[in-house]
Amino acid sequence: MTTRITVAAGEIRIGDIIYNGLGTSKHPTDTWETITQVNSVDGLVQLITGSLDGPHGEFWFELEESVVVIRHPPPEPEAVIVKPHNKRAHGH
């Protein structure tokens, strides 16, 4: 389950999803983009969506500025399956 939360810009992580305006599509989810890079530049936070090599979104915030993002919860750790060690004593 994803969660829409408000965080300080300095707490935004790669993989968070940020709202990028109205866009040109009629589908409302097309206006949310995944953050692929977070940079600190001159006391500001620069957020990049997409690839720097091609078209991308760029957002600038002050460190403590509130930003609404969608964040997926961290994945559940995989259960460790313990295999029994059935070592039999060999009579030599």
For residue range 12-70, list pLDDT tens digits in order: 999 999 987 665 656 555 678 899 999 999 999 999 998 767 777 889 999 999 999 99
Q: What is the DSSP string of 17-40?
A: EEE--S-SSSSGGGGEEEEEEEEE
CB atoms inside a 10 Å sphere around CB 37: 14
What is the CATH T-level fold of the domain 3-71, as seen in this structure?
SH3 type barrels. (2.30.30)
Domain ranges within the chain, ordered by starting residue: 3-71
C-beta of residue 18 within 8 angstroms of C-beta of residue 47: yes
| pLDDT tens digit sequence for 65-76 | 999 999 988 778
Instruction: Over range 69-84, report the average pLDDT.
Output: 82
pLDDT on residue 91: 58
Tell me the backbone φ, ψ of residue 80, rounded to 5 degrees: -90, 125
